[in-house]
């Protein structure tokens, strides 16, 4: 399997722009290229999809054991010519103050060479010292090449290249010139979806052109061919259950889904039917379950609120016992209302009491441990899982019982979430079912025999 890891010295070094440009450039050469993202990020995987023409997979040490990562990577590479794995944060940044769970750890697990993206703004020979530090920090990691970002001129790149190669022995594969118009934003801009996607496509197309012009693509491909054998990994062992129709909210307002989650649900027997919370008047008929993922309901709150017929249909069916799992944005959608930052209040489904309030301050961010303190649609009391939270909202006044005890992986702080009403579970934490197929199985088993 031909593959490379694209890592950065730090967040903001340019790895997402390089990865997206590289994916698009390889695609233009006729290669079937499969993107992957280390960590839980949904934004970068959206860029990958635009660049590669196919959904990206998240590979995450916190939310799935190493064997599941290997299984998912093998699964994702079936029929592909080349894999591009974009790292997270800096090369060695992991859980806590160790490289555990880092991009470097992922590269070693997947036995894959690393291309390091460095930001050469304001330096030349000093770049060699930086690369040397990254190379020597872990002798077991194969640092196969360097791409230099934020370069002022061809002469600037020549100075950096000569220093890096002379003092480290790591080949410089090319550069991207300093150009603020070729920077992919790290968060949603709040624009209309057509405007935002058009802007992203333009940036990626421009990045692909710069990659083709200034980076030695042939050498990059050759390095990908030197990737070692993957460690052995048995296919996931599970029995496909009886088919059950699951409605999945999927449009501009709800787009945060792990590809591994969707594919494990399908492999277990789910027939996934997408619908638009902004445009469809009702849920699909004859469904056994509803999956409301994350996204930006606050950005599209007006359009969501205007679709009263769907909100009423969802509330009616959930009250009637339809099984539902709602994550983050999906949870917000099921509350009484969403108040956006300008103070406007938009009515939502109202299945759960309580009101969602958007805040300037990030309310939760990071990995979490989850213990089920009561039975819900994903599992029984006492079961555990790991997830990730990232949200600028809080929900005020909710009175329904919780079934999650959530603990921050970093601070150790604990809180309750996982609200349950009838056959619905709603929580802020995102969980990747590829790491927890038993939760997916439990959800589908609960949905079997139930129709909406």
**Which residues carry out catalysis?**
328
Does residue 404 contact residue 357 with C-beta atoms inside 8 Å? no
- From the list 370, 450, 360, the residue with the least C-alpha distance to 409 is 370
Report CA-CA distances (Å) from 91 to 185, 364, 365, 412.
Answer: 20, 24, 20, 25
Does residue 326 contact residue 358 with C-beta atoms inside 8 Å? no
CA pair distance 27, 74, nearest whole angstrom = 20
Does residue 410 contact residue 234 with C-beta atoms inside 8 Å? no
Residues 6+ apart with CB under 8 A from 448: 241, 242, 244, 288
CA pair distance 427, 417, nearest whole angstrom = 6
Residues 6+ apart with CB under 8 A from 66: 109
CA pair distance 208, 340, nearest whole angstrom = 36
- From the list 171, 222, 181, the residue with the least C-alpha distance to 17 is 181
Provide the 10 A C-beta neighbour count for residue 195.
10
CA pair distance 7, 115, nearest whole angstrom = 6
Instruction: Write the DSSP symbol of residue 74.
Output: H
CA pair distance 181, 39, nearest whole angstrom = 26
Helix (H/G/I), strand (E/B), else coil: 129: helix
CA pair distance 361, 354, nearest whole angstrom = 20
CA pair distance 241, 396, nearest whole angstrom = 39
Query: What is the enclosing helix (H) or strand (E) of 243?
Result: none
């Amino acid at each position: 399997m031909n593959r490379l890891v694209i890592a950065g010295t730090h967040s903001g070094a340019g790895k997402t722009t390089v990865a997206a440009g590289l994916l698009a450039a390889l695609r233009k050469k006729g290669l079937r290229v499969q993107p992957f993202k280390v960590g839980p990020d949904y934004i970068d995987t959206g860029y990958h999809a635009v660049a590669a023409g196919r959904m990206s997979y998240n590979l995450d040490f916190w939310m799935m054991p190493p064997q599941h990562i290997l299984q998912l990577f093998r699964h994702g590479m079936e029929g592909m010519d080349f894999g591009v794995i974009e790292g997270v944060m800096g090369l060695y940044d992991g859980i806590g103050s160790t490289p555990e769970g880092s991009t470097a750890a992922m590269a070693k697990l997947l036995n894959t060479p690393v291309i390091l993206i460095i930001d050469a703004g304001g330096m030349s020979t000093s770049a060699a010292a930086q690369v040397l530090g990254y190379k020597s920090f872990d002798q077991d990691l194969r640092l196969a090449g360097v791409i230099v970002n934020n370069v002022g001129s061809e002469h600037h790149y020549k100075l950096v290249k000569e220093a890096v190669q002379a003092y480290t022995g790591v080949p410089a594969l090319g550069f991207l010139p300093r150009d603020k118009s070729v920077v992919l934003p790290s968060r949603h801009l709040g624009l209309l979806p057509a405007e935002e996607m058009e802007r992203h496509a333009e940036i990626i197309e421009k990045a692909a052109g710069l990659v083709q012009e200034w980076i030695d693509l042939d050498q990059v491909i050759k390095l990908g061919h030197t990737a070692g054998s993957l460690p052995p990994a048995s296919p996931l062992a599970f029995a496909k259950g009886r088919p059950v129709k699951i409605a999945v909210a999927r449009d501009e307002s709800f787009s945060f889904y792990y590809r591994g989650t969707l594919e494990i649900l399908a492999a277990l027997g789910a027939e996934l039917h997408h619908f638009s919370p902004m445009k469809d008047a009702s849920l699909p008929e004859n469904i056994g379950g509803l999956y409301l993922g994350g996204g930006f309901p606050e950005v599209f709150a007006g359009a969501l609120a205007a679709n009263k017929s769907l909100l009423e249909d969802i509330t009616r069916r959930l009250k009637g016992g339809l099984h539902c799992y709602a994550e983050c944005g999906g949870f917000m959608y099921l509350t009484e209302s969403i108040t956006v930052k300008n103070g406007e209040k938009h009515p939502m489904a109202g299945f759960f009491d309580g009101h969602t309030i958007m805040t300037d301050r990030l309310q939760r961010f990071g990995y979490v441990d989850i213990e089920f303190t009561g039975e819900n649609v994903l599992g029984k009391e006492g079961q555990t899982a790991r997830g990730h939270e990232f949200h600028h909202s809080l929900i005020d006044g909710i009175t329904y019982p919780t079934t999650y005890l959530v603990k921050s992986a970093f601070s150790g702080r604990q809180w309750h979430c996982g609200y349950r009403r009838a056959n619905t579970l709603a929580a802020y934490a995102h969980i990747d079912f590829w790491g927890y197929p038993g939760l997916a199985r439990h959800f589908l088993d609960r949905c079997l025999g139930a129709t909406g």
